[in-house]
Structure 1
Amino acid sequence: MTVEFDPAAVGFDPQDPAFIADPYPVYHRMRELGPVLYYPARDLFLLNGFNDVNAALRDRRLGRAHRHRYTDQQFGRSGDDPRWAHFNASERWSLLNLEPPDHTRLRRLITKVFTARSIAALRPTIEVLATEHLAAAKADPFDLIAGYAQPFSVAVICTLLGVPLVDGPRMLDWSHAIVKMYEFAISDLERAAADRAAAEFIDYVHALIEARRTRPQNDLISELVQVADQGEKLTVDEIVCTVIVLLNAGHEATVNTLGNGMRALLAHPDQWSRVVDGEVAPAVVVEEMLRWDSPLQLFERWVLEDGVQIGGRSFAVGERIGMMFGSANRDPDRFVDPDVFDAARGESTHIGFGGGLHFCIGAPLARLELEVSVSLLKNIPGLRVARPPGYQPYFVIRGLDGLLLESVTGPPR
């Protein structure tokens, strides 16, 4: 059953600063209305509960893309806007947007070099980078986002890829511009900025690939250039899109989880004390940070086959589903006292990293970066929020515009 709800009546307005500041009471009201809500502004069916979102993530009859099986005309789409051709090219071979068989082939090849073991081996390097970047943010107070999280996360990605660290700020600017294209409502000026960023990023990665072909190094780009499986190799365009998505998705999720999560932790001093005192391990609290204030609030899928039934509704081919990650992770039918931040909850089956075919390939790296960061932050004496933070004015990718922290007994160590 579908409820055609009144977004204004429940407060669902993805452009309203009040909603962005705290969407969770609105999600509660939406779950009470029904499991499937039709949102006419985007011709989108919203799934609100954990079980339904989880089922949609794992249903192979749903797809992030549709062009491997249908034309745009069949789905009532006008096709890609030619004004944003560079952005579209940067997305063409992104793992986020592919479906089998292309997704299967690319993920298999990428996983051969981007393994859990290879990520675990990065721990000493990540610990050094984290220590150096936190020391660099030595002012008291300091901005956890701009002063530490962003440069640290980009430095990790640069080190992994083999990109010079001096190019980190430029890559950060490209990422910030490009990811705005995933939002519900942005201006043409923002779209143009995203397209320019994509063009520059594509050219940059092309140059790196050519350099690695002639002089391979011990980095991910060199491995992606050389990887092969049963005679299959990655094309240049596939490598370019892979590098771009590793930076954009990996960096944004890690930074926003750390900002959102530390804001939550420090707003609950009793829970922060459990981490500081060693009662709760950083790796455990990271899972609650991912669940309680998810960095990705919504992910969309197309219905590719008839017969899909979720939330008591039968969906038709060509309809589009919006999986509400933020709502699912606060669903009382799945989590006990879901609005309570419990540092020791340790629930790793949240939907912070998606699920199914498109489960985030960078999840082990993100978890490691977050664990190392919390391990360092808990050693800062008397850490607290110096000024109430605000959220960036975007709904889909949820993150703070800054988080000013201070130590009551002196500057951070």
Structure 2
Amino acid sequence: MPAPDDHLARFDVSDLDLIADPYPVLNEIREAMPIFWNDTTNQWVLTRFDDISTSLRDRRMGRAYSHRFTDAEFGRPAPDPRWASFHAHERWSLLALEPPDHTRLRRLVQKVFTPRAVALLADDIQAVSDRLLDECAERSTFDLLGDYAQPFSVEVICSMLGIPVADARSLLDWSHSIVKMYELDADDATKQAADRAAGEFIAFTQDLIAHKRQHPDDLLVSELARVEDEGDTLTEPEIVSTTMVLLEAGHEATVNTLGNGFRALMHHPDEWRRLTAGEVDAKAAVEELLRFDSPLQLFERWVLDDGVEIAGQQIDVGQEIAMLFGSAQRDPRRFVEPDRFDIGRNDPSHIGFGGGIHFCIGAPLARLELATSIANIVARFPTLTLAAEPRYHPTFVIRGLEELMLTA
């Protein structure tokens, strides 16, 4: 068996071969070591499901540290002023907050973003899906991402937020630029583009909030602007960050889950036949699509308290851990035959939506969008085949395809 250093040498997130298929390398590293130090990113990296699942819920760690430490106290540099717009976009994001701010903000958002509000979208989601698939059916070959998943997800979230669908193209462009900031190897040009997109998105959202205050409706941005709980309300920066993260996280996760998942289905025709034969329900299929080829491969947390030990390794305050979701979702200690794509596995306890206080607030909406899409595509195109082998975007953290050409 290769030495641990040999495995780590192959863990290069800029390597296109790794990006094309990271799982053999991730499997080797996970079986060789549950935790390792990454000199390139200065992080402890976790590889196994139980350690990652536990760490997602460990309150001695957090997504942020500014609620308890200054940058100097934490031994970290101050935020780069060149990316001020991106940092402003992050400032009140639910993904970047810790209690008490996170508790307060999530409580207020959940008063608006309720299961009932999501359930009321079912007919609209079905209608958007039907219309886009009608257009796909007019072509012999179509791109599942560009022709369906992207316009579908952004139109659904626009309808929920109360954003004009005419602005969807700008929203897509901003989202695609901003999420590249989360990559481990993002260069200055990528960061500059992300910061510019964040600034434009912030200005757009501020204008939208002002409009909703003058012309309120019963949609999400308008409701966020007037939500109240025992006299507590959301500030404009909080509404801006919340609106942006709901669109970015929801859109990217839905699109990439559909793309990665349908690529897997086309490579496993027996599993596709289980769907078309009605053996497996679309709601069950969603869970395997989220597990098998994770749209989010890595998630990070800071150690905030003394005494944290993971897999026998003491981790100091001020150090960061990176959790390899793609590795955890293929851990044989947790999943039977984890490298087997089993569309009927139906295990919702995966970590595709994270865990702990940062469990994805949009999970019910994502599951509804995905199940509706799977059911409709299966019903419309039971003989679907892959028209060309797709390529993944050259990014590791956010995993998704450039396009997915299918023949009906």
What interval of TM-score do these two structures reach, taking the shorter chain for normalisation?
over 0.9
Are positions 1:392 and 2:393 aligned together?
A: yes
Say if 2:92 is the partner of 1:120: no
Q: 1:410 aligns to what? A: none
1:6-405 correspondence to structure 2 within 5 Å: 6=5, 11-137=10-136, 138-379=138-379, 380-405=381-406
Letter in structure 1 aligned against 2:39: P
CA distance in structure 2 between the aligned counterparts of 1:197 and 1:10, rounded to whole angstroms? 34
In 2, the alpha carbon distance for the partners of 1:50 and 1:148 equals 33
Is contact 1:301–1:320 with CA below 8 Å preserved after alignment?
Answer: yes
CA–CA distance in structure 1, aligned partners of residues 96 and 351 of structure 2:
18
- The alpha carbon displacement at 1:76 in A equals 2.1
Structure 2 CA distance, aligned partners of 1:187 and 1:336?
39
Q: Determine the C-alpha separation between the residues in 1 that align with 2:310 and 2:69.
A: 22
Q: Distance in 2 between matches of 1:25 and 1:381?
A: 31
Counterpart CA distance in 1 for 2:205 and 2:37 is 40
Identity of aligned residues (%): 55
Deviation at 1:136, TM superposition (A): 2.4
Shift of 1:28: 1.0
CA 1:79–1:7: 2 relative to 1, 3 Å: farther
In the alignment, residue 303 of structure 1 is paired with which amino acid?
Answer: V
- Going from structure 1 to structure 2, the CA distance change for 1:369 and 1:111 (only over 3 Å counts) comes to same
CA deviations on 1:312-352 (whole Å, 9 max, x unpaired) are 22211011101111100000000000000001100000010
Q: Hey, what's the Cα distance between the residues in 2 that align with 1:169 and 1:136?
A: 18
Give the C-alpha shift of residue 42 in structure 1. Answer: 0.5
Shift of 1:7: 6.3
Contact 1:144-1:404 at 8 Å conserved across structures:
yes
How many angstroms apart in 1 are the aligned matches of 2:354 and 2:382? 35
Q: How far, CA to CA, are the matches of 1:320 and 1:26 in structure 2?
A: 22
Instruction: List, as ranges, runs of 4+ consecutive aligned residues in structure 1 with deviation greater than 4 Å.
Output: 7-10
What are the Cα deviations for residues 96-153 of structure 1, in whole angstroms up to 9, with x where unaligned? 0000000000000000110112111211110001111222233221000111100110
SS where residue 40 of structure 2 aligns?
Answer: helix
Query: TM-score, normalising length from structure 2?
Result: 0.97
Given that 2:158 and 2:165 are in contact with CA atoms closer than 8 Å, whether structure 1 keeps it comes out as yes
Deviates more, 1:37-46 or 1:7-16: 7-16
SS at match of 2:94: coil
- Structure 1 gap segments, 5+ residues each: 408-413
- Cα distance in 2 between the residues matched to 1:381 and 1:97: 42
Q: CA RMSD in A?
A: 1.2
Matched-pair contact (CA < 8 Å) for 1:53–1:328? yes
Instruction: Kindly provide the CA deviation profile for residues 195-220 of structure 1, in whole angstroms up to 9, marking residues without a partner as x.
Output: 11111111111111111111101210
> Which sections of structure 2, spanning at least 5 residues, go unmatched?
none
Distance of aligned partners of 1:201 and 1:7 in 2 relative to their CA distance in 1, 3 Å threshold: farther
**Number of matched residues?**
404
